[in-house]
Amino acid sequence: MRVSLTLSHDQVKTVLTESYVAGLDVGTTRIRTVVAQPDPRGALRILGLGVVPADGLARGIVVDRDKATVAIKESIHRAQVRAGVEIAGAYVGVSGAHVACRNVTGRVHVPSGEVGHGDIEKVIQSARDSVRTGPEQQIIHTLVRDFAVDGERSIARPEGMRGSRLDVEVHVITGVGSIIANLEESVMAAGVRVLKHVLEPVATAMAVISEAERDLGVILADIGGGTTDVAVFSEGAICHTASLPAAGNHVTRDLAQLLRIEPQDAEAVKRRYGVALAEMVAAEETVKVREVGTEQEMRIPRRLLGEIIQPRMEEIFNLVKENLILAGFYETVGGGVVLSGGGAQLVGAARLASATLDNLPVRIGAPHRLTGLEDSVDSPSYATAVGLAMMAAHDEAWAMPTRPATGAGPWWESAKAWWKQTILPAVRRLAAPQAPRR
Ligand SMILES: Nc1ncnc2c1ncn2[C@@H]1O[C@H](COP(=O)(O)OP(=O)(O)OP(=O)(O)O)[C@@H](O)[C@H]1O
Ligand SMILES: [Mg+2]
């Protein structure tokens, strides 16, 4: 019998390569490393996760390199142990008030009459060249929003199209070079190469925003500890990004100061009993808190928590609104608002956001299209780290072989077993001399 060995392209890739991707979210409160494997069907297989409390960070940037390095190293180590692979490089998130964005255009003449790869590179470069950056600034992303050939817009893939003029609209994101360098050096000192810096809301959007929402127009607000990061999509493309200096830590600080309790108690009470809208709590409900510096417990109305939290959360959503009005994009979103980040987990956050943002529909976004250890990252807090790994998988699928650590992960063991039991015997049978045909 002749054995047919028809391995699909995907199966060959699955068996013959050991490719892993890693996303590293160096947040103000937590450092999260996600190790994953690109799944040829478009999902992301989560292999390992390392989460540690952040150190040496404030407002989304590194303020103490040594402390940050120690914390990053520990986060990477935990993810590596869990995944059973060694990470050589990672996609790393960038955030903070130093980030700025603008939309610019570029135009080139197409001498051959057919748009080639070189023309596309040239037109994007011409758009980049039109951005005036200060000496301290560097371009982090140049994201294409639209191409037009001979004035005809919405050309998704101009390569190979007939035409004599190519135009592009791009969203350019810049950041302060020294701030990005400090982050990069902390990551490198932790033993990992930065494969790419990615603006955090761009990565978060990858994990939580659907294509339909991008087309309709959508606001993403990632409420972290130190910053609330915003990204706006319109007609399928990113058109605005911003990092605003108020987030979950401000809520915790308000509670600690106004209730006179320890910050860690304020954090715990916020997570357990906090609400974004005071009216969500019955007037008679009370909770116990411990007065700062004493062991003495006191009972306070739970509604008081809402009364303290609500103005700060309203301030955050108003900052988002003002920022978008100023940038001219507030009116362009038909798809509503997606909240993510740890701060989105506050009870009532979506309701208050909708009330503040003129009744736009608001939903909480958690990463989707995952397999493997998906349960451990299925929360808005992990959206950025997962999005970074997704971007790495998207850009670099199968191109970043990583050395398996001793005792490689379960996936690799089962792939090897499948190779040995199913494919090798088939290959051997094929290679064996065939009996002469009669
Ligand atoms: N269940 C919860 N309810 C309310 N707030 C929460 C909850 N869980 C986490 N948070 C808040 O989320 C914030 C941390 O969010 P996240 O982990 O996304 O931040 P980060 O990525 O470390 O910081 P940043 O993105 O600002 O650099 C903290 O202020 C924390 O109090
Ligand atoms: Mg964050």
Domains and CATH numbers, the chain: 100-175 (3.30.1490.110)
For residues 45 and 37, is the Cβ–Cβ distance under 8 A? yes
From ligand 2's centre to the CA of 431, what distance in Å?
A: 54
In this prediction, residue 18 carries a pLDDT of: 56
- 267 Cβ closer than 6 Å to some ligand 1 atom: yes
Q: For the chain, how many helices (H) and strands (E)?
A: 13, 18
- 348 Cβ closer than 6 Å to some ligand 1 atom: no
For residues 31 and 183, is the Cβ–Cβ distance under 8 A? no
For residues 199 and 208, is the Cβ–Cβ distance under 8 A? no
- 78 Cβ closer than 6 Å to some ligand 1 atom: no
- 228 Cβ closer than 6 Å to some ligand 1 atom: no
Q: Enumerate the β-bridge partners of residue 141.
A: 173
Euclidean distance between CA atoms 285 and 305, whole angstroms: 11
Ligand 1 atom, smallest distance to 226 CA: 26
- Strands (E) in 316-365, as ranges, are 337-340, 362-364
- Strands (E) in 211-290, as ranges, are 218-223, 228-234, 237-244, 286-290
Ligand 1 atom, smallest distance to 228 CA: 26
Ligand 1 atom, smallest distance to 31 CA: 22
Name the closest ligand to CA 75: 1
438 residues of the chain, pLDDT tens digit each: 333 333 344 433 333 345 889 999 999 999 999 999 987 777 899 999 999 999 999 988 999 999 999 999 999 999 999 999 999 899 999 998 999 999 999 999 999 999 999 999 999 999 999 998 888 999 999 999 999 999 999 998 999 999 999 999 999 999 999 999 999 999 999 999 999 999 999 999 999 999 889 888 999 999 999 999 999 998 888 999 999 999 999 999 999 999 999 999 999 999 999 999 999 999 999 999 998 888 888 999 999 999 999 999 999 999 999 999 999 999 878 789 999 999 999 999 999 999 999 999 999 999 988 988 888 899 999 999 999 999 999 874 433 333 333 333 444 444 444 444 444 344 333 333 344 333
Q: Enumerate the β-bridge partners of residue 165.
A: 109
Residue 275's CB is within 10 A of a number of other CB atoms, namely 23
In this prediction, residue 332 carries a pLDDT of: 78
CB burial class (10 A; 0-12, 13-18, 19+) of residue 390?
buried
Nearest Cα residue to atom 4 of ligand 1:
346
Give the pair of three-digit tokens for residue 6.
């028809």
For residues 194 and 188, is the Cβ–Cβ distance under 8 A? yes
**Which of 381, 382, 386 gets mutated to test ligand 1 (max ligand atoms within 8 A of its CB)?**
381
Q: How far is CA 17 from CA 63, 400, 428, in A?
A: 39, 9, 21
Euclidean distance between CA atoms 197 and 180, whole angstroms: 8
Give the pair of three-digit tokens for residue 138.
């560097």
- Name the one residue in this structure whose structure tokens are 């998704």: 156
From ligand 1's centre to the CA of 341, what distance in Å?
A: 6
- 276 Cβ closer than 6 Å to some ligand 1 atom: no
Nearest Cα residue to atom 31 of ligand 1:
248
- 256 Cβ closer than 6 Å to some ligand 1 atom: no
Residue type, 243: S
Euclidean distance between CA atoms 37 and 372, whole angstroms: 9
- 30 Cβ closer than 6 Å to some ligand 1 atom: yes
Nearest Cα residue to atom 8 of ligand 1:
342
How much is the pTM? 0.85
Euclidean distance between CA atoms 399 and 218, whole angstroms: 32
For residues 168 and 122, is the Cβ–Cβ distance under 8 A? no
Q: How far is CA 92 from CA 178, 287, 321, 325, 337, in A?
A: 16, 40, 28, 30, 25
